[in-house]
Amino acid sequence: MKIHKEGRKIILIEIAILTLIWYFFPELNILLVILILFTMLTIYFFRVPNRELNIKENNVYAPCDGKIVVIEKTIENEYYKDKRIQISIFMSPLNIHNNLYPISGEIEYTKYHPGNFLFAWNPKASTKNERSTIVINNKKISILIRQIAGALARRIITYPKKNDQVNAGNELGFIKFGSRVDLFLPESTKINVKLNEKVIGGKTIIGIY
């Protein structure tokens, strides 16, 4: 296990504050205990496990750890403007929060949208909250991934740029402190997960194309 690069600065600041309080105000025992616990929680949140991924062609992999909260056919209005299968994965603050590419291919579209901070399980979160949209296309499939901020998550990190070549299982980005990821897949995709199922990023097969 390692600490994600997006969390290292935050953790160093917390440790510095903790050290200063311990050095100058050692009598503040309760505050020190609270800060130690908070720092430990931050370290836990930004953890990244070492995983052996067995990526195979024609599979759409989970882009994150979490729980399936939506499986439905819907109109995707931002990019495709047609009917797609929407799969939504809710990430609690205790889940791993780095996001992975579900398939290999070329980045066809990226766009960041400022917005609200509704709870991630709210159906309106997909179009109302702060979010980042990425479209990946290869010779066999085109899919849309949407990183969505939740009530606690107020910063979305998205690494790819248009025309980048990416590989399934590699890191796409990070969402801080509780959030959701939506996938929009072609109607022909064979869905391999069920509602309320727990999924593991880069390992669980969401669908087959």
* The pair of three-digit structure tokens given for residue 139, joined into one six-digit string: 């010779």
**Which residues are catalytically annotated?**
179
Contact 199, 88 (CB under 8 A): no
Question: What is the Cα–Cα distance from 191 to 208, expressed in whole angstroms?
Answer: 7
Residue pLDDT, tens place only, 136-151 = 999 999 999 999 987 6
Pick from 10-24, 53-67, 107-121 the range whose average pLDDT is largest. Answer: 53-67
Question: What is the Cα–Cα distance from 161 to 173, expressed in whole angstroms?
Answer: 12
Q: Which pLDDT band, with edges at 50, 70 and 90, does 193 fall under?
A: very high
Residue pLDDT, tens place only, 62-119 = 999 999 999 999 999 999 999 999 999 999 888 988 999 999 999 999 999 987 766 6
Residue 32 has pLDDT above 90, yes or no: no
pTM assigned to the model: 0.84
Burial class of residue 138, CB neighbours in 10 A (0-12, 13-18, 19+): middle
